[in-house]
Structure 1
Amino acid sequence: MTKPRKSVLLALALVAGPFLSAGTAHAEAGFGGSLGGSADTTNKSTGKTLASQVTYNTSKNGTGKSTGTLAPIGNYDPPACWYEPGWTPDEYEKEFQRRWNVGSFSGAGEAYAAEKARYIEGKPYKDFNKDKSGEGMFWGTVYDWDRLKGDDYKDCSQADFWVDNGDDPPVENAIDAETLAKLAYNAIQVPDTEITLAPKAATKVNLPTWAWLDKADFHKVSVTAALNVGGWNLSSTTTATPVSLKLEPGTADATLFPASGECALNADGSIGEPWASGKSAQAPPCGITYLRSSGEGTYQLRATVTWEITWTASTGETGDLGTGSFGTEQAIAVQEIQAVNR
């Protein structure tokens, strides 16, 4: 895309455009990844089949025993719909025929007449713009049904339209670098937050428990979303970088180190400090001292990592999407220190 559009916040409202009477575009699960996490994003009432042309490179995504999606914090506004290139003139003719079942369709009335005039009779497109084959594409709407709210749709309800290669699409919600960055965000997986503890699964009342994450197991991840179709070639890489660890002991009867429970990233990319012999009585830079026994049960220690989200595009554009978080729980048994009476 030679003239990248600036980002737009994707708002929606339910107002059908002229061609939406024939069918509403949807993002199909499995085409470069499910856009909304749903196994079936088909609009069953209309059946229009514009699948998203966006593809994903997840080779630098999070890996490990288990991974999870980030809970967005801050200025991340997930895209619920957008316009993108979908058809060449020949492809659009087939799509038109499929929608209207040309040859057996009857009783179409004014709706069919209006669409025939728009795409075949030159008002404004003559014979599906076949005289401009290779010079552009028809654009349509992609909806992420899981993200639509209330009476959304309005801003992505325009009838399918033609755009010449290199021209800016004449709509607000055309896919752009930031939209791709947000779609990449949706595909990011981060490793679970299983921190190392000393003592491990069981500790003692009033004994400092050290907590840390090694740099080798705790690193940034990224996903690239790309649109490469016709004359439009654009990509954005969204990167999640870990910045801090928050400890929640699972009980009010505990002292946190530091007092906020927020353990910052060290200069080498790790968090906290490994316990070593002779440090048992010291206050850890990142850790917990439990003040009461867990009895026959355990406390659920929750460790949540905050990730900073940034993106860069093939156009040179950059931005940030705030922060995201992902946390897991570990069962901690806290025992009383047994004293021997003589």
Structure 2
Amino acid sequence: MPVNGSRRTVLNTSTAALILAISTLTLAAPNAAAEPVDTGKGGGTKEAGGGDGTGIYAAAKIQYSGSVAKNGSTGNMASSDVNWTPPPCWYAPYLGAKDFKKKMSKGIESQMNTPGMGGTAGAALGELQRHYEDDYGWTDTPGYKDYNVDKDGKGMFWAAVENPSEPDILKRNSCSDIPFWVDNGEAPPPQYKEAITPEILAALAYQHIELPDTKVTLAPKAVTKVNLPTWAWLDKAVFGEVKATAAINVPGFDIQATTTAKPVSLKLEPGTSDAQTYPASGGCTINADGSIGEPYARGKAHQTPPCGLKYLRSSGDGTFKLKATITWQVNWTGTGGAGGDLPDGNFGTTQDITVQEIQAVNR
């Protein structure tokens, strides 16, 4: 049944933070590996949603593959859209009914037995317990009779997962709904807008993608002369599309998305205002064959390179920091034919350039 006005008051007070803390307590594992956990009773393991005592799944962890940063680290591609960010949190499959009951009931009991837990906080805990045990509605969420154990194996409780790469703790905690049930093969209720989707997975793959640390080929190489055109290019053979895939695969729920980054342009920044770039904007577009710029060849020393630069003064005893930033066009495809565009990405590297004066002999 729905929560009446007085009970809503209880839930909308500062105890909401307590309820979130308890919800988080039950979710200690959503960022942990989605691997069977041995309960010590033997008999092998059981997939998520089963929970018959032979094993449980800690959570539906996102599996990354392709060109992604190691150890779950954030990749090196920066979005060109300053207003776009990967999701700070989401809801994902968590535990089957029996395993959820075991974990949640233990957490609630532990909190209720904490000294000094009474008053409004204790009442809120009671509401939470009734929600999962006595089919008591929680705001817009229907209640569950005995933690839905009669539907064990036919669905899962979903729960909030924080994005560990999100620096803002308030954003990480913004998925504050308590765990809710989803039948196998069904979509989560529409009010859970942050429920994991292929599009969210695509954004997370974007966040973890690792672009190649490709240095621009220069001629002359690391040492050039004042007023001498320096040619710059990237060979298509070592400079192509990069893909990263993010996936969730548990019984009754299997989705994935692949994010593809394709290089489209190169921007040169000489590291000093005393220089010219070719083209004047410093932006070199990709050629029809997938390369950028044109390799230098004998006899082109005094020609204007289609992509390159010219230094107008010496670097003295030091060097100039030439920055080469590649812009990548990004799109994604996912389960069910979903797909679309994501913001362009940028990744730049720097190279030390020594610029020498041309020595002339006066007679």
TM range (shorter): 0.7 to 0.9
CA distance, structure 1, for counterparts of residue 28 and residue 284 of structure 2 = 43
Between 1 and 2, higher relative CO (CA 8 Å, sep ≥ 6) is seen in: 1
- Residue in 2 aligned with 1:93? 101
CA distance, structure 2, for counterparts of residue 150 and residue 93 of structure 1 = 28
Contact 1:18 1:158 in 2 (8 A): no
- Residue in 2 aligned with 1:57? 65
Contact 1:76 1:321 in 2 (8 A): no
5+ unaligned residues in a row in structure 2: which ranges? 1-13, 35-56, 137-142
Aligned to 2:331, which of 288, 296, 310? 310
Deviation at 1:265, TM superposition (A): 0.7
Name the CA shift for 1:239/1:253 in 2 (closer, same or farther; >3 Å). Answer: same
Aligned to 1:215, which of 233, 236, 240? 236
Alignment length (residue pairs): 309
Aligned-partner SS, 1:250: coil
- Residue in 2 aligned with 1:225? 246
Aligned-partner SS, 2:336: coil
Contact 1:206 1:289 in 2 (8 A): yes
Name the CA shift for 1:291/1:301 in 2 (closer, same or farther; >3 Å). Answer: same
One-letter amino acid of the counterpart of residue 219, structure 1: G
- Residue in 1 aligned with 2:145? 126
Deviation at 1:224, TM superposition (A): 0.8
CA distance, structure 2, for counterparts of residue 311 and residue 233 of structure 1 = 17
Contact 1:195 1:212 in 2 (8 A): yes
CA distance, structure 1, for counterparts of residue 173 and residue 218 of structure 2 = 52
**Match runs of 1:26-105 below 5 Å:** 31=33, 51-58=59-66, 60-61=67-68, 69-74=76-81, 76-100=84-108, 105=113
Name the CA shift for 1:116/1:93 in 2 (closer, same or farther; >3 Å). Answer: same
Deviation at 1:263, TM superposition (A): 0.6
CA distance, structure 2, for counterparts of residue 185 and residue 26 of structure 1 = 25
- Residue in 2 aligned with 1:247? 268
Q: RMSD over aligned Cα, in angstroms? A: 2.8
- Structure with higher Rg: it is 2
Answer 1 or 2: which has greater helix percent: 2
5+ unaligned residues in a row in structure 1: which ranges? 1-13, 33-48
- Residue in 1 aligned with 2:47? none
**Match runs of 1:132-147 below 5 Å:** 132-147=151-166
Contact 1:119 1:125 in 2 (8 A): yes
One-letter amino acid of the counterpart of residue 334, structure 1: V
Name the CA shift for 1:226/1:252 in 2 (closer, same or farther; >3 Å). Answer: same
One-letter amino acid of the counterpart of residue 235, structure 1: Q
Name the CA shift for 1:297/1:27 in 2 (closer, same or farther; >3 Å). Answer: farther
CA deviations 1:190-224 (Å, max 9, x no partner) are: 01131111001100011110011111111111111
Aligned-partner SS, 2:254: strand
CA distance, structure 2, for counterparts of residue 26 and residue 311 of structure 1 = 31
**Match runs of 1:136-215 below 5 Å:** 136-147=155-166, 149=168, 151-152=170-171, 156-170=175-189, 171-215=192-236
Deviation at 1:114, TM superposition (A): 1.8
Name the CA shift for 1:77/1:164 in 2 (closer, same or farther; >3 Å). Answer: same
- Residue in 1 aligned with 2:44? none
Normalised by the length of structure 1, the TM-score is: 0.82
